[in-house]
Amino acid sequence: MITTGIEVFLAGIDAYRKKRIALIANQTAVTGAFRYLWDEMRRLGVPPVRIFSPEHGIFGTEQDQDPVNGQNVRGIEVVSLYGSTSDSLVPDGRYFENIDCIVYDIQDVGARYYTYVNTMALCMKALSGSGIEFVVLDRPNPLGGVEAEGPSLGDEYGSFVGVFPVPVRHGLTAGELALLYRDTESLDLSVTVVMMNGWERDMYYDDAGLPWVPPSPNMPSVHTAVVYPGMCLLEGTNVSEGRGTTVPFECSGAPFAGSEPLAGMLNGMNLPGAYFRPVEYKPTFNKYKGRSIPGIYLHVTDRKRFRPFLTGVAVTKAFHDLGGEQFRFLHDVYEFNSRHPAFDLLAGGPEIREAITGGAGITAISGLWKDYEDRFLKHRKEYHIY
């Protein structure tokens, strides 16, 4: 059984007893006994001054890109860090005035564009030079800490789905990401990582013996997290990524591409550790709400061989090739950014989209990020604390 950072922190809470503490947390900040961090801190006589909540809200009730309002929990002020404008992503300076320490405890899913660690990074940058200590209660990367996959983040493609200079699947814990970001940005900030006990880099989340608390409304299981680093790319297209179903990101579909041709094309690519089953489904919200559409269900047959980002690119290519003019890459406001197509923000640049529209094969496309992966894997070791 793994001991996560929250357990270690609470066991040593006396070291923080005289400090005024704020939290960055949501419903995943629970102990092994399923008690929330803020409740345990109150019970131990060290109640937090306030809680900063990320996208989806403190209890993960709101859908993606929906503004979240502040509230109170157990009499503790909750300040939303995901409002209706980009300014809301960073706390107003007045919320730091009576704080000695900020404690971050949110379960990540191991993808560059999952926004919780991006909230962490933006808050760290805002705190630089303030003298406020930043503490990360570490949790497992659900995808393990061995593999890395995907392209770099282009200089002009930073956004709320692209803050860290890492591949899409980075293989780092939140604590390791915090240390990397502090150094990359040369922040004047004291960062303390409260480490886990017993976690090893080759562990997926369900190897750790920990209960899964869904981090967000469309992340119901570890299986979802495994496919997310690739299948989230469909958010940048007019293809349904399965939101509005019980298996988001595991199924995908659109009315302009038949399920049998899709499955046949993708299975013919021989993607490692993946098999596609033709399906039909009816989303209850989001794209094609209330409409029965053809699609595919992604089965991961071998996690160790599976390459989620490559698979997501291949799925995007299949919908593009079969959909013809009906397929579209979206260019609307996406996570407060309308400068670039959403797909490019997720991918870190236009190269993959341009390769798909230019008719490149999946082998050629996969070569676009191989050199970067190799360089990152060497660089990443500097920040391994497990």
DSSP per-residue codes, 217-246: TT--SHHHHHHHHHHGGGGGBSSB-STTSS
Do 210 and 232 lie in one domain? The reply is no
**What is the structure's pLDDT at 70?**
80
**What is the structure's pLDDT at 54?**
96
**Region for residue 238 given its phi and psi (left: phi exceeds 0; alpha: psi -120 to 50; beta: otherwise):** alpha
Report the pLDDT averaged over residues 368-385.
96
Is there a domain that residue 263 lies in? yes
Do 129 and 160 lie in one domain? The reply is yes
Count CB neighbours of 267 within 10 A. Answer: 15
- Report whether pLDDT(287) > 90: yes
Q: Which of 164, 198, 216 marks a domain boundary?
A: 216
Is there a domain that residue 118 lies in? yes
CA atoms within 13 A on the CB side of 143: 27
pLDDT band at 200 (very low <50, low <70, confident <90, very high): very high
Residues above pLDDT 70, as percent of the chain: 100
**What is the structure's pLDDT at 306?**
98
Tokens 């870190």 locate to: 348
Nearest-10 crossing angle of helices 308-323, 259-268: 130
Q: Which domain holds residue 18?
A: 5-216
**What is the structure's pLDDT at 129?**
96
CA-wise closest residue to 136 among 189, 193, 180: 193
- Report whether pLDDT(116) > 90: yes
Report the pLDDT averaged over residues 161-190.
97
pLDDT band at 1 (very low <50, low <70, confident <90, very high): confident
Could you give the number of structural domains in the chain? Answer: 2
**For residue 372, which amino acid is it?**
Y
Is there a domain that residue 384 lies in? no
Q: Which of 216, 237, 269 marks a domain boundary?
A: 216
Q: Are strands 274-281 and 293-300 parallel, antiparallel or unpaired?
A: antiparallel
Report the pLDDT averaged over residues 64-81.
89
Low-confidence winner among 3-12, 252-261, 265-274, 329-338 (lowest mean pLDDT) = 329-338
Summarize pLDDT for 133-154 with one digit per residue, the tens: 999 999 999 999 999 999 999 9
Do 167 and 236 lie in one domain? The reply is no
Helix (H, G, I), strand (E, B) or coil at 366: helix
Q: Report how far apart, in Å, the C-alpha atoms of 204 and of each of 29, 32, 52, 248, 368 are.
A: 19, 18, 28, 20, 27
The pTM for the full model equals 0.96
**What is the structure's pLDDT at 66?**
84
Residues above pLDDT 90, as percent of the chain: 94
Is there a domain that residue 329 lies in? yes
**What is the structure's pLDDT at 304?**
94
pLDDT band at 67 (very low <50, low <70, confident <90, very high): confident
Q: Which of 183, 216, 249 marks a domain boundary?
A: 216
pLDDT band at 51 (very low <50, low <70, confident <90, very high): very high
Residues 6+ apart with CB under 8 A from 180: 164, 166, 172, 383
pLDDT band at 106 (very low <50, low <70, confident <90, very high): very high
Taking a C-beta distance cutoff of 8 angstroms, is the pair 93, 63 a contact?
Answer: no
Report the pLDDT averaged over residues 220-247.
98
Q: Are strands 76-80 and 50-53 parallel, antiparallel or unpaired?
A: parallel
- Report whether pLDDT(92) > 90: no
Do 125 and 27 lie in one domain? The reply is yes
Q: Report how far apart, in Å, the C-alpha atoms of 184 and of each of 125, 295, 350 are.
A: 11, 41, 24
Do 93 and 150 lie in one domain? The reply is yes
pLDDT band at 296 (very low <50, low <70, confident <90, very high): very high
**What is the structure's pLDDT at 77?**
94
pLDDT band at 245 (very low <50, low <70, confident <90, very high): very high
Report the pLDDT averaged over residues 79-90.
92
- Report whether pLDDT(269) > 90: yes
pLDDT band at 132 (very low <50, low <70, confident <90, very high): very high
Q: 317 vs 334, which has greater pLDDT? A: 317
**What is the structure's pLDDT at 69?**
86
**What is the structure's pLDDT at 137?**
98
Taking a C-beta distance cutoff of 8 angstroms, is the pair 370, 358 a contact?
Answer: no
Do 160 and 289 lie in one domain? The reply is no
Q: How far apart are CA 18 and CA 151, in angstroms?
A: 44
Do 130 and 61 lie in one domain? The reply is yes
Do 283 and 324 lie in one domain? The reply is yes
Helix (H, G, I), strand (E, B) or coil at 212: coil
Do 16 and 55 lie in one domain? The reply is yes
Q: How far apart are CA 276 and CA 270, in angstroms?
A: 10
CA-wise closest residue to 368 among 328, 324, 325, 317: 317
Q: How far apart are CA 75 and CA 227, in angstroms?
A: 38
Is there a domain that residue 386 lies in? no
**What is the structure's pLDDT at 149?**
98
Q: 72 vs 177, which has greater pLDDT? A: 177
- Report whether pLDDT(162) > 90: yes
Q: How far apart are CA 159 and CA 65, in angstroms?
A: 13
Taking a C-beta distance cutoff of 8 angstroms, is the pair 315, 230 a contact?
Answer: yes
Report the pLDDT averaged over residues 197-203.
97
CA-wise closest residue to 202 among 224, 232, 230, 171: 171
Name the phi and psi angles at 312, rounded to 5: -65, -40
Is there a domain that residue 375 lies in? no
Do 197 and 102 lie in one domain? The reply is yes
Do 243 and 207 lie in one domain? The reply is no
